[in-house]
Amino acid sequence: MSKRHLKRHRQQGQVLVLSTLILVPLFGMLGLVTDMGYMHYVKMSAQAAAEAAAEAAIIDFHSTTGGASFTCGGNVVCASTPTACPTSITTPANSIEHGCMYAQANGFNSAGSVTYQTGRSATPPTAPGSGTASYWITFRVTQQVPQLFSAVLGNTSGLVAARSTVALMGAADCIYALNPNASGAVSVGGTASLTSSCGLLVDSSDSCAISTNGTATLSAPEYDIVGNACTHNPLTPSPRTGITPASDPLASLPVPASAPYTCDYVNYTASNWSNPTLNPGVYCGGIQVRNNNYTLNPGTYTLVGGGLTTQNANSNITGSGVMIYNTFDSTHSYGPIDIAATSTVNLSARTTGTYAGILFFEDRGAPASSDTYGGGATAVYQGTIYAKNAAITMHGNSSVSAAYTIIVADTISLVGTTGLSNNYSSLPGGASPIQLVAILE
């Protein structure tokens, strides 16, 4: 073989060696890119599973567990550290397992791959700036992903992890008008004024869903309306119109009592100026105050027909830690709440338990009615007035007398100088008793 041919063969051999040396890391890089792409895909799938699990769990919890103060047990699952979901769930025993099923449906059901963690009246550790939640849930999804091409480089597997945290947080609104089409679903008339420290949510699609007339004024930090507002003076800030209708914000709050009722009192009224102290119980035929000073001891007062009525400035009601449930049955016709404008009222809701922050609770099956909450400028209604079927008229209520007042009704009319505050510091977590689902991460 000539020297020229020998040199050529040597050069070809060198090219082959160099090509081999280049191709090995090149294929390794291509394999790494392929494996990283696959891991990214699994990571996105794990994130979707974590979010689906968390959102399904909190939505189910919110729709089935009322109130804003929770005790461990039953549907209130408490897990201070990450706890593995059961595998192969077919019928969920609680809201957490409901979420676990969603992760399972997204392909993550191997032992230990999905965990949950919960907390009550605390800030979720995964969202430190979110504030106090009455109940929070974190779902974590992990998956070992076997490596394909890059395994030749010693990378036999990789780990992906995803996390999602959701919570129940106190609502920012304190006036809820649920009628879907009423004109003036929230109205302020004449020389009246309403100053609210919290927002209004109005479900009416009417072009005048919020209305004022005369020299009436309305001031709030936020207005959310399905329809629109027509007010004597422009609202500040501008209303957010065209929102999606909201449902009853207290729909999951359990009913405190149901028929058949055993009457503790019938058509209760005391003799004039006897100044009685009332105890919790079932008041068939309601309570009539007349000329008297009624003091209500803490507890639940179930009015079966008849409602609650006062007559004039000589009618005075005081009570702390109370809830008044206004209902009816087949032998006791429904009666509204009718507290005269000149009466004196100082009522506050309880601060613990399922009904923390709930002052008046009207039977959801009650017929449409007109309720009046009077008491003048010194009236105190500290709590939530929940009467989804009622047209409520609220007379002068000083914004400084009650730490907070929430109204949930069919329609709401404000008469006189009315102020609503939102200091919930006495309640669990220092938040509104109306809870909303919040996706924190």
**Domains of the chain, residue spans:** 3-170, 248-434
Confidence (pLDDT) at 148: 62
Task: Tell whether omega for the bond before 249 is within 30 degrees of 0, i.e. cis.
Answer: no
Q: Does residue 37 surpass a pLDDT of 80?
A: no
Q: Which of 14-18, 88-92, 281-285, 380-384 has the lowest mean pLDDT?
A: 14-18
Query: How far apart (Å, rounded) are the C-alpha atoms in residues 22 and 27?
Result: 9
- Per-residue three-class SS string for the chain: CCHHHHHHHHHHHHHHHHHHHHHHHHHHHHHHHHHHHHHHHHHHHHHHHHHHHHHHHHHHHHHHCCCCCCCCECCECCCCCCEECCCCCCCCCCHHHHHHHHHHHCCCCCCCCEEEEEEEEECCCCCCCCCCEEEEEEEEEEEEEECCHHHHHCCCEEEEEEEEEEEEEECCEEEEECCCCCCCCEEECCCCEEEECCEEEECCCCCCCEEECCCCEEECCCEEECCCEECCCCCCCCCEECCCCCCCCCCCCCCCCCCCCCCCEEEECCCCCCCCEECCEEEEEEEECCCEEEEECCEEEEEECCCEECCCCCEEEEEECEEEEEECECCECCCCEEECCCCEEEEECCCCCCCCCEEEEECCCCCCEEEEECCHHHCEEEEEEEEEEEEEEECCECCCCCCEEEEEEEEEEECCEEEECECCCCCHHHCCCCEEEEECC
Instruction: List all residues 6 or more positions away from 3 whose beta carbon is below 8 Å from its beta carbon.
Output: none
pLDDT, one tens digit per residue, over 22-34 is: 555 555 555 555 5
Q: Which of 17-26, 143-152, 218-227, 314-323 has the lowest mean pLDDT?
A: 17-26
First-residue to last-residue Cα distance in the chain? 74
Half-sphere exposure of 324 (CA within 13 A, CB side): 31
Mean per-residue pLDDT of the chain: 88
Write the single-letter amino acid at 231.
T
The dihedral sign for the CA sequence 130, 134, 139, 140? positive
Return the number of other C-beta atoms located less than 10 Å from residue 375's C-beta: 27
Query: How far apart (Å, rounded) are the C-alpha atoms in residues 124 and 82?
Result: 13
pTM of the predicted model as reported, rounded to 2 decimal places: 0.87
| 6: confidence class by pLDDT, cuts 50, 70, 90 | very low
Q: Could you tell me what percent of the chain has a pLDDT over 70?
A: 87
| 416: confidence class by pLDDT, cuts 50, 70, 90 | confident
Average pLDDT over residues 59-76: 93
Q: Are 382 and 347 in contact (CB under 8 A)?
A: yes
pLDDT, one tens digit per residue, over 114-126 is: 999 999 999 999 9
- List the structure tokens of 378: 């010194």
Q: Are 319 and 295 in contact (CB under 8 A)?
A: yes
Q: Are 283 and 265 in contact (CB under 8 A)?
A: yes
Bridge pairing between strands 173-177 and 405-414:
parallel
